[in-house]
């Protein structure tokens, strides 16, 4: 069997078109604010990338850098000031050590929380009435839906229990009526558990962890891995490319979950602007 | 094999002692407010029962009834008034049809939310820093811990995905490093999935759904079922008593999860009072 590759770039293009239309219905250009530590070069590069992407859909992206030795009190003030001038707010990680990540999440206005990290939004997702869904998890669901396979009653296995990917994806797959298992670093005989899956979703940040013996023939395999590799000159997934010989569908890396994730995060910013403007919003 | 029965009454007595000590450290007697619809006799009876239980630990329980045809606006006002005079607030379900359950959850002050239903608290639990944990799920975890078995890496299967039991229990078991599967009404071949479990937790409200062929020999079986049966003259669990011939440990019904649940809900009220008074609080 050779897996059908799920084209994340195509899905991203479709989403971009949708978001552009949604943004155009607003009276004012929507704006996404990004807070980045001064020395965090990868995050600054990503903010620049988002700014370019934003232009294409009519979304202004303002990146604000702050000094790495900022005090928590000053950080809170800066965040509040930035937040007042934008519709969506993204606080890039990692944070400097003196800033408590949990406390920072609570500073974000839940109505502007495009990353879906505020506890209120995390709770709304768990309660089945999501406001903002973390973009990587939503991208994985969308690409799964694009296969057109029947989901209800199928078995899903998620490898990875992070608050930003594995756990929200659990909620999304459960709401689609799959029977869902969550695995992690302490799981015993991981390959055998993974082989139970009709839908195998992987988000652990370990390049090529998942090899063909993890995969039930014909399964849908969703790979959120994004591990830069100097030798390859591009990122590697958490799933080995040989899995294409066993899976029914596979999201490639690069060109799978990643491109759609970016577009969905920007879409969240446009939906935040719509919500603040009192227009109807869309979640999934 | 004959299962060891896990004694929920004994666990409840120990908890009652702990809560009494915690309450005694407060300067003022803590208070739990309960809102009940006038015609809801079972909830009124439960409120009366809680009031008696509360007296034993030094917790005042105030039940307030409201007319079944109350407007949402008036309900919000009443709730706010009741809430200001108490440390913990419990809004009994079911609500009259004109009250939106999601909107009611958001009216509860998250610091007084002893049932753990406010989205903010649901999110905190999912993020691994719980404030209030829904008492039934916490009772199941506590009784599981009381068996002393090693949990890390073991497989758990939860039957039931309710926001008040199955989903919070998923978070609790995952945080203890089990590999966790959540099943529900759409799960195919439920008995076979359940048999994968070293720990099988059931909360669906279907009397005796789980029979011995659902159970791996030696497994721990936790039963949150509470189904009144007129013929039996007592409640029936979701687990058939014959499971005792296959399981290693079993929570009986009655006398298992239920009694400890009540004590943990009251304990949440005392912890709410401690939190509002600026004293240290305990979650698990």
Distance between CA atoms of B120 and A237, rounded to whole angstroms?
A: 33
**A80, part of any domain:** yes
* pLDDT, tens digit, 9 for 90 and up, residues B124-157: 999 999 999 999 999 999 999 999 999 999 999 9
- B163 and B85, same structural domain? no
- A252 and A144, same structural domain? yes
* Closest C-alpha among B219, B218, B273, B235 to residue B28: B273
Report the chain B residue with the minimal C-alpha distance to residue A118.
B123
Distance from CA of B174 to the nearest CA of A (A): 8
What pLDDT, on the 0 to 100 scale, is given for residue B147?
98
- A163 and A52, same structural domain? no
What pLDDT, on the 0 to 100 scale, is given for residue B283?
80
Q: Which domain holds residue B33?
A: 28-110
What pLDDT, on the 0 to 100 scale, is given for residue B123?
98
- A239 and A140, same structural domain? yes
Residue pair B63/B32 in contact by the 8 Å Cβ criterion: no
Report the chain B residue with the minimal C-alpha distance to residue A127.
B163
**pLDDT at A284 > cutoff 70:** no
- A87 and A149, same structural domain? no
What pLDDT, on the 0 to 100 scale, is given for residue B179?
98
What pLDDT, on the 0 to 100 scale, is given for residue B284?
66
For chain A, the residues whose C-beta falls within 8 A of a C-beta of chain B are 102, 118-124, 126-129, 152-155, 161, 163, 167, 170, 174, 177, 179-184, 186-188, 193
| Residues of B with Cβ-Cβ distance to A154 under 8 angstroms | 188
Q: Which residue has the tokens 């008040």?
A: B164
What pLDDT, on the 0 to 100 scale, is given for residue A283?
80
| Residues of A with Cβ-Cβ distance to B120 under 8 angstroms | 119-120, 123
**A186, part of any domain:** yes
* Closest CB to A188 among B153, B161, B181: B153
- B143 and B254, same structural domain? yes
- B140 and B199, same structural domain? yes
Distance between CA atoms of B136 and B268, rounded to whole angstroms?
A: 12
SS3 at position A104: helix
Task: Look at chain B and report how many structural domains it folds into.
Answer: 2
| Residues of B with Cβ-Cβ distance to A182 under 8 angstroms | 170, 174, 179-181
Percent of chain A having pLDDT more than 70? 99
What CATH number is attached to the domain comprising B141?
Answer: 3.40.50.720
Return the C-alpha torsion angle A122, A128, A129, A134, nearest 10.
Answer: 40
**pLDDT at B4 > cutoff 70:** yes
**A16, part of any domain:** no
Instruction: Tell me the mean pLDDT in the region A119-132.
Output: 97
DSSP for A168-182, please give it.
HHHHHHHHTT-EEEE
**A250, part of any domain:** yes
- A164 and A102, same structural domain? no
> CB neighbours of A189 closer than 8 A, spacing ≥ 6?
none
Mean confidence (pLDDT) of chain B: 97
**pLDDT at A250 > cutoff 80:** yes
- A236 and A138, same structural domain? yes
Question: B126, A174: Cβ pair inside 8 Å?
Answer: no
* Exposure string for B20-39, b = 16+ CB within 10 A, e = fewer: eebbeebeeebbbbbbbbee
Instruction: Tell me the mean pLDDT in the region B38-49.
Output: 95
* pLDDT, tens digit, 9 for 90 and up, residues B45-67: 999 999 999 999 999 999 999 99
- A141 and A70, same structural domain? no
Residue pair B251/B226 in contact by the 8 Å Cβ criterion: no
Percent of chain A having pLDDT more than 90? 98
**B147, part of any domain:** yes
**A180, part of any domain:** yes
DSSP for A67-97, please give it.
-TT--HHHHHHHHHHHHHT-SEEEE-SSPPT
* pLDDT, tens digit, 9 for 90 and up, residues B162-220: 999 999 999 999 999 999 999 999 999 999 999 999 999 999 999 999 999 999 999 99
What CATH number is attached to the domain comprising B85?
Answer: 3.40.50.10860
- B178 and B92, same structural domain? no
* Closest CB to B124 among A119, A153, A184: A119
**A281, part of any domain:** no
Asked casually if ipTM beats, i.e. exceeds, 0.90, the reply is yes
Question: A123, B128: Cβ pair inside 8 Å?
Answer: no
Instruction: Tell me the mean pLDDT in the region A30-41.
Output: 97
**pLDDT at A45 > cutoff 80:** yes
Question: B152, A186: Cβ pair inside 8 Å?
Answer: yes
Question: B193, A183: Cβ pair inside 8 Å?
Answer: no
- B186 and B75, same structural domain? no
**B3, part of any domain:** no
| Residues of B with Cβ-Cβ distance to A184 under 8 angstroms | 174, 177, 179
Mark which of A82, A114, A146 sits at the end of a domain.
A114
């Amino acid at each position: 069997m050779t897996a059908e590759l799920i084209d994340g770039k195509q899905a991203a293009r479709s989403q971009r078109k949708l978001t552009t239309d949604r943004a155009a219905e607003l009276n004012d250009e929507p704006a996404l604010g990004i807070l980045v530590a001064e020395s965090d070069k990868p995050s600054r590069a990503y903010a620049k990338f988002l700014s370019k992407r934003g232009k294409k859909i009519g979304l202004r992206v303002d990146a604000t850098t702050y000094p790495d030795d900022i005090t928590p009190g000053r950080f809170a003030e800066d965040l509040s000031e930035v937040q007042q001038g934008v519709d969506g707010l993204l606080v890039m990680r990692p944070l400097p050590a003196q800033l408590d990540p949990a406390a920072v999440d609570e500073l974000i206005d839940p109505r502007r929380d495009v990353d879906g990290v505020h506890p209120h939004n995390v709770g709304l997702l768990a309660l089945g009435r999501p406001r903002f869904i973390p973009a990587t998890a939503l991208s994985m669901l969308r690409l799964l839906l694009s296969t057109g396979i029947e989901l209800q009653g199928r078995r899903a296995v998620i490898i990875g229990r992070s608050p930003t990917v594995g756990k929200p994806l659990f909620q999304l797959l459960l709401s689609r009526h799959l029977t869902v298992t969550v695995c992690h670093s302490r799981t015993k005989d991981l390959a055998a558990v993974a082989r139970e899956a009709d839908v195998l979703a992987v988000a652990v940040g370990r390049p090529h962890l998942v090899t063909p013996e993890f995969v039930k023939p014909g399964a849908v395999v969703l790979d959120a891995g994004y591990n830069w590799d100097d030798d390859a000159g591009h990122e590697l997934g958490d799933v080995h490319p040989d899995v294409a010989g066993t899976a029914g569908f596979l999201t490639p890396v690069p060109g799978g979950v990643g491109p759609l994730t970016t577009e969905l995060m920007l879409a969240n910013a446009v939906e935040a602007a719509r919500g603040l403007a009192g227009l109807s919003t869309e979640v999934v």
